[in-house]
């Protein structure tokens, strides 16, 4: 298995992400090549005392940006919307943000 910290890159802190914290739903930016099973195992390894109920993923293509004649793309991003079980403890990192 890959290192869990290579799979989970960073939390996504947006208004929509903050709305889900009360329902134990969190948003993370993850590795583009990671699948749902790897994301679930990585989260349970990094954050102790949590149980993941389900993982939904979203992959966005990079936008085309131009600087004069030269054009390029911003990087692709894959997000994971993670729902914890009812009896699971909340993630301590997000507790002060509610």
- 39-95: pLDDT as tens digits: 999 999 998 889 999 999 999 999 999 999 999 999 999 999 999 999 988 888 877
Task: Return the higher-pLDDT residue of 97 and 39.
Answer: 39
Give the domain range for residue 23: 4-86
Q: Provide the domain count of the chain.
A: 1
Please name the residues in contact with 71: beta carbons below 8 A apart, sequence gap of 6 or more: 64, 65
Give dist(CA 72, CA 26) in Å, integer.
Answer: 31
Residue 91, domain member (yes or no) = no
97 in a structural domain:
no
CA–CA gap between residue 86 and residue 16 (Å, rounded): 20
Average pLDDT score over residue span 12-38: 93
pTM of the model: 0.87
* CATH number, domain containing residue 29: 3.30.70.330
């Amino acid at each position: 298995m890959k290192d869990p910290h290579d799979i989970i890159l960073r939390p996504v802190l947006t208004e929509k992400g903050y709305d889900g914290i009360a329902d134990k739903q969190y948003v993370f930016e993850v590795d583009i090549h990671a699948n749902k099973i790897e994301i679930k195992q990585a989260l349970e390894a990094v954050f102790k005392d949590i149980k993941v109920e389900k993982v939904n993923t979203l992959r966005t293509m990079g936008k085309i940006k131009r600087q004069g004649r030269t054009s390029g793309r911003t990087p692709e991003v894959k997000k994971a919307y993670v729902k914890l079980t009812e009896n699971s403890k909340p993630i301590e990192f997000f507790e002060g943000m509610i």
